[in-house]
Chains A and B, each alone.
Chain A
Amino acid sequence: MMDNRVGINDLIRQACRHEPGALGRLLESYRHYLKLLARTGIDASLQGKADPSDLVQETFLKAHQYFGQFRGRSEAELIVWLWRILARNLADLTRRYYRTESRRASRERSLEQLLDTSSQTLNHLLADAAGAPHVSVQRRELSVVLANALAELSGEHREVIILRSLEERAWPEVARRMERSIGAVRMLWVRALKRLRPLIENQL
């Protein structure tokens, strides 16, 4: 449960100082975020053939256990750290899944890509220069805000946003995955976008 009253940086600090319960509260506030990562990650690497909640569980467990190793101080660093843990767990999952086929170079490459977060990280940290305001210290990272907002949408609305705007699939594919017509999913998309806006604003 996100505790907005205690700023996220304070919570990180508390957790680093081993204040009881702080770590639990801190990591809990990334539940939606990790679910989103797990979902999109599994879609990318395993064609959705695994249950995201196991992956989230494993990631939480590791994050709990190894929080002592986390050397950063800001949320930005924390989510990248969480992401790395998840990416590694996902790679393990993928490896196990493809155990017999692991020699196929193309799959190896996609594992590498998943693990090679260094270049991605740079990409993703460089927000467009124009109009990126100096975010106040207590604000959450945008991706976490997005994940939390998505969690409050209905299942279908969330699904279409993930498929179209996050995973950037073409409309025919979105339609096929959601088992509806193209027209229908496009409308769902518009409605979802409208619903999303106040949910985002609520958190900022």
Chain B
Amino acid sequence: MNERSVSAVNREARLAEILDAYLAAQENGAAPDMDEFLACYPDLAGELQECLASLTFIRRARKLAVAGAPHEGEPARGVLGDFRILREIGKGGMGVVYEAEQLSLCRRVALKVLPFAATMNPRHLQRFHNEARAAACLHHPHIVPVYFVGCERGVHFYAMQFIDGQSLEGFLRRLHDTAATAATLVAAPVRNRDQLRPLSVAPDAMTVVDSRAKATTPAVPQDAAYFRQVAEWGIAAAEALEHAHSLGIVHRDIKPGNLLIDAVGRLWVTDFGLARTVNDSRLTLTGDLLGTLRYMSPEQALAKHGLVDHRTDIYSLGATLYELLTLRPAIDGLDREEVLKKIAFEEAAGARQLNRAVPVELETIVSKAMSKEPAERYATAKEMAEDLRRFLDHKPIRARRLSLLQRMRKWAQRNTAVIWTAAAFLMLAAAVLAAGGLWHVLQIQATLAEVRQREREIRQHLYAQDIMVAWQALREGEQERIRGLLDRHVPEAGQEDLRGFEWYYLQRRSRGLLHEAARVTAHEGGAYCVTYSPDGRTLASAGKDAVIRFWDARTLHPRGELHSGQGEVNEVAFTPDGKSLASAGDDRTVWLWDLPTARQRAILRPKGCRDELSTLAISPDGKVLAAGGKDGGIWSWDLASGKLQAARNPGGGWIFYLTFAPDSRLLAIANHDGRGVLLDPITLRERGQFQHPHGPMHCVAFSHDNRTLAAGSARGGRILLWDLTERVQRIDLSGHESSATRSLSFSPDDTLLVSGGDDWRVRLWDVRSGDLRASIQGHAGRVWSTAFAPDGEGVASAGQDGDVKLWHVHGDDRRTIRVASAAEKEVAVDWVTFAPDGQTLFTRTTNGEPGCWNTLSGRRAALAPACRLVTVAGDDKRDLRVQVLSDAAAQVYRHARPISAVAISPDGERVAFADDSPTVWLWEVGAGQPRELSRLSGVCKCLAFAPDGRTIAVAAAARVLLLDIVQGQSLAVLSGHSKVVLSIAFSPDGRLLATSGREDNTVRIWELPSGRERYCLWKHRTMVHAVAFSPDGRTLASGTKAGEVILWDVAGGQELMRLEDHGGEILTLAFSPNGKILAAGGHGTDAKSAEVTLWYGDEARPDLGL
């Protein structure tokens, strides 16, 4: 080392020391001033500055650049708007709580931060803000005031008063954790009765150990003072709840964790009204959900939204007090299902059963608050507070203990397993008869029926929940979870099958597009090529061992082999008649084989070939055979005569691949240069070029419709797609991670492209959008060759590991059918319906055109099975046509006024329609004139027949009338929508009606025949033009103007999932009769095209056994 480098080394060593020292000082908060610092080291200042600049940058950028376990105690620092974060207080289900300082007012606050906003729906955020604002107007001595709700740099949070103390959850936990004996729970002696509240059971008192007592009994509180304290807390919480309820705010999440005790022992209720936001957005982790579930009222836990009111808080408060009294949660279980079942069925044991010291009155009060039926609880929080106060004042409480009958009912509910057996029931009935009479037996029967009903509801609820979770898992790419969730609902013997379209659809989606079907070790040293015979029944493969092998294309059973002496066989190709095969070898020859006799029939020697022949192809018309070599040469033979007709070397180096266009008029070359050329197959003259900028081009493929050219490269794994008609590059697919793409092949319908690469993977691409649809590790080595089966159902691959593999391509889970398109005006599909066998789909467009489609293939159906379709034709919309599609005849009626809505009865015999007067008419098809049924009070945009054909539901502006078709009398009027009703659908059993309204963007479900509104589903972002029930009536689909389909669980009124694949406005929806296919019709991506989207659930394609 010379002088210079020694001093350089020393310099750097010094620099390192100085920098380390600087950083250390910074850690300790004692970072020196930059200029002063630099001034201390004048000779190193320049380099120091450079290094410090980098370090400063790293420090700032580091935060989101490192994904590691955070260091213990790493504090949050910094400022969030008007608040400076001081420290983290704790983590809850809904995010983290920090202690902070409000800068403008110099006061301490607690900041609760929501998990990151980007995962939240804007609607949820809006709701969060609304709820927080509502909570902010609560002013009560026992409610934690909310000061501020805001959003800073994408982080949503609210600020509330900082309570110096702990929650009752912490308090309970400490009671459990401390080696507390009964004695330690004796509160410190109370000096002043009036000061009972602040002094007793202050958190610190728990750690006082009374050494005289022995730990003989399990630690439950026994001291009267403790129970009085609990009652005081109950009063405080109930008064807080009363205040909120009076303002219409329900807390929904009362639990020990939301009740805080401050330093002077005062109770505070916190987090009002925010539980709804959280539970909906599913932001809590499972553990936390259970924690909340324990305290949830039955109506809340079973998601009966319509029934949840302020009394749910009373239940939760009761459950909380219960746990304080007994130190055990009222309802507990290992998982969600168990807890839900207990909440619905089991009565918690009386508090005194777990802790005999609990005063009787407290047990009664808590029991009443925790009644399963809201009507049996305290009607208001105030009444509960009053009863607690009576207990404290030693006055008699109002709550009654249960009567014998009530207790029996509850016993029955708790012991349902026993009652199931008839014998047990008989015994019970006999006993009851003896005791009290028939009436009691009926009551028990009623209970049983109730219990069965409850069980059904629970199963349905769990099903709906699991579907929601599975949908979420699918969206987040966690396919593995879905299977488990779905399998739970495969019915066992005797159980009702609750599975609907959503289940089958998720099942199909969870399987993924591609999966390995068969594999065989084919060629030692590497399988270089695999290709399908033209009839798709055989696969041929070849490789390093120069043996050409044939396999059954479905099972990979060996079918034969040809031993070629070519050294290595690099490529094989069938002739279009399937009777011959050509193979290109390392020995610079092409061998032609006659397949029926399995003999070699000719050897072609390319003139001037100096190196191995790497590739060959046979034109689709069977006339030309072309081969390319490592030396860059290309040769073309006339296949019939075997004569070499052209030879050429374009100078681009190694010809990796060549292929013919489907019309046999072009030959595409992929070579080392990356300059792709298009040649005339016979003369080999250049006809065009295409460039792949990313290095050597390894593969090229034409789509079957000759509209697209795909090429893959050696570097950066890119696949380029060119549009051949426009001659422009269309898409650039980021292909196999930085490694070469070795082969490409289009599916027969050109919707998918399969590629194999050096990264060992086989990938499937959507040709239209460029989306990567599947990526699987294909081989234990480079994937040399891939091919799509002629029927599009499978893909074959050959790899460096010597294997040939078969992959099953699952049919797409959806399909779009372009029904019509118009150049000038708008057109849309406004009616879809399935034929009874589900194989045909009928459509009707807004210009009155009917259509018939094969459900599975999406192509026009050859035959139109009998189906009656009614259309309104004519520009003036006055012509009513009813046609049976299998023949051209149609019954026509011309009305005096334009028709605004029309529907045909289920048996096809009658048509109901509304004109603009507005009046609704009934027409017996083909039998004379229509009959006026009723005048309407408002415009009618839609109407529908009930499944029994005897009533119709007619929209009249914002109301819906149920009319009897015989008399025309009105059976019910449903009002609730604010503006015009846009669509109507009956449930298959005729007991429910679904309607959608304009501008309130809601769908409402009504009960018939009462006309009572059961649910209002409001989560649509835009107008809903279509609603439809599934065949089992358990799911409702709604379609919006934005092209979304939302699936709802009818029993609970909850959203199950959302399908966003339809291109434009949706005007009509229909389920197939077996419930496994859903069709949506409307506009396509632009208003001038009419499209239908079909979603297929599993088992929708019986003929393929999928």
Contacts and interface: CB of A to CB of B under 8 A. Distances in A.
Q: A and B from one assembly?
A: yes
Interface of A: 18, 20-21, 23-25, 27-28, 33, 36-38, 40-41, 43-45, 53, 56-57, 60-62, 64-66, 68-72, 74, 76-77, 79-81, 83-88, 90, 92, 110, 113-114, 116-129, 132, 141-143, 145-147, 161, 165-168, 183, 186-187, 189-191, 193-194, 196-197, 200
B1060 interface: yes
A37 B476 CA distance: 19
A79 B66 CA distance: 12
Contacts of A85: 477
B118 to A, nearest CB: 4
B33 to A, nearest CB: 13
B79 A70 contact: no
A143 B730 CA distance: 32
A90 B478 CA distance: 13
Nearest to B738: A53
Contacts of B737: 53, 56-57, 60
Interface stretch (B57-65, B427-435, B559-567, B851-859): B57-65
Contact of A69 (B54, B71, B475): B475
A43 to B, nearest CB: 7
B172 interface: no
B78 A126 contact: yes
A128 B770 contact: no
Contacts of B69: 44-45, 110, 113-114
- Residues of B in contact with A, size category: 35 or more
Given A24-B770, A128-B77, A194-B47, 14 more contacts: A21-B731, A23-B770, A40-B68, A57-B737, A65-B771, A80-B116, A128-B60, A142-B65, A143-B62, A147-B65, A187-B12, A189-B16, A194-B50, A194-B51
Given A18-B769, A69-B475, A127-B60, A187 B70 contact: no
Contacts of A183: 13
Given A61-B775, A116-B91, A68 B1060 contact: yes
A122 B731 CA distance: 38
- Pick the 4 closest A-B CB pairs, nearest first: A126-B78, A44-B68, A124-B63, A142-B61
B408 to A, nearest CB: 44
Contact of B68 (A69, A161, A167): A167
Contacts of B62: 143, 146, 165-166
A186 B13 CA distance: 7
A165 B58 contact: yes
A28 B478 CA distance: 23
B66 A167 contact: yes
Given A61-B775, A122-B155, A126-B78, A71 B121 contact: yes
A101 B734 CA distance: 37
B55 interface: yes
A126 B51 contact: no
19 contacts: A41-B68, A45-B69, A53-B737, A65-B772, A79-B64, A80-B64, A88-B476, A88-B478, A92-B478, A119-B96, A122-B96, A123-B75, A141-B64, A165-B58, A190-B16, A190-B19, A193-B51, A194-B50, A194-B54
Contact of B77 (A56, A126, A141): A126
Contacts of A114: 67, 69
A200 B60 contact: no
A60 B759 CA distance: 15
Nearest to A113: B69
Contacts of B733: 24
B53 interface: yes
B446 interface: no
A190 B67 contact: no
A123 B63 contact: yes
A142 B117 CA distance: 20
Nearest to A123: B76
Nearest to A168: B71
A128 B78 contact: yes
B95 A118 contact: yes
A61 B476 CA distance: 12
A192 B486 CA distance: 53
Contacts of A43: 68
Contact of B64 (A38, A45, A124, A129): A124
Contacts of B155: 121-122, 125
A40 B54 contact: no
Nearest to A165: B58
Given A61-B775, A125-B153, A165-B55, A143 B477 contact: no
Nearest to A110: B69
Nearest to B80: A126
Contact of A118 (B54, B74, B113): B113
Tell me the interface secondary structure of chain B in the complex: mixed
B85 interface: yes
B79 A129 contact: yes
A88 B1060 CA distance: 25
Interface in B77-113: 77-80, 85, 88, 91, 95-96, 98, 113
B202 interface: no
Given A66-B475, A113-B70, A119 B12 contact: no
B15 interface: yes
A19 B729 CA distance: 14
A4 to B, nearest CB: 18
Nearest to A43: B68
Contacts of A56: 737
Given A21-B732, A190-B19, A193-B50, A66 B477 contact: yes
B29 interface: no
B827 to A, nearest CB: 23
A128 B76 CA distance: 10
Given A44-B68, A143-B62, A119 B76 contact: yes
Interface in B717-769: 730-734, 737, 759, 769
B51 A33 contact: no
A24 B734 contact: yes
Given A72-B118, A166-B62, A183-B13, A20 B731 contact: yes
B122 interface: yes
A167 B66 CA distance: 8
Nearest to B9: A187
A77 B154 contact: yes
Contacts of A187: 9, 12-13, 16
Given A27-B734, A128-B77, A197-B50, A64 B772 contact: yes
B653 interface: no
Contact of B734 (A28, A72, A200): A28
A143 B61 contact: yes
Contact of A76 (B57, B91, B154, B1060): B154
B119 interface: yes
A187 to B, nearest CB: 4
Contacts of B170: none
A61 B116 CA distance: 22
B19, B54, B64, B772 — most chain A CB neighbours (10 Å): B64
Contacts of B61: 142-143, 145-146
A20 B769 CA distance: 7
A25 B716 CA distance: 13
B477 A65 contact: yes
Contacts of B71: 168
Contact of B15 (A110, A127, A190): A190
Contact of A123 (B74, B476, B769): B74
Interface in B1-56: 9, 12-13, 15-16, 19, 47, 50-51, 53-55
Q: Which of B66, B96, B120 has the most CB of A within 10 A?
A: B66
B18 to A, nearest CB: 10
A142 B154 CA distance: 17
A124 B60 CA distance: 9
B115 interface: yes
A196 B775 CA distance: 36
A132 B57 CA distance: 11
Contacts of A83: 64, 67
A83 B117 CA distance: 14
B91 A117 contact: no
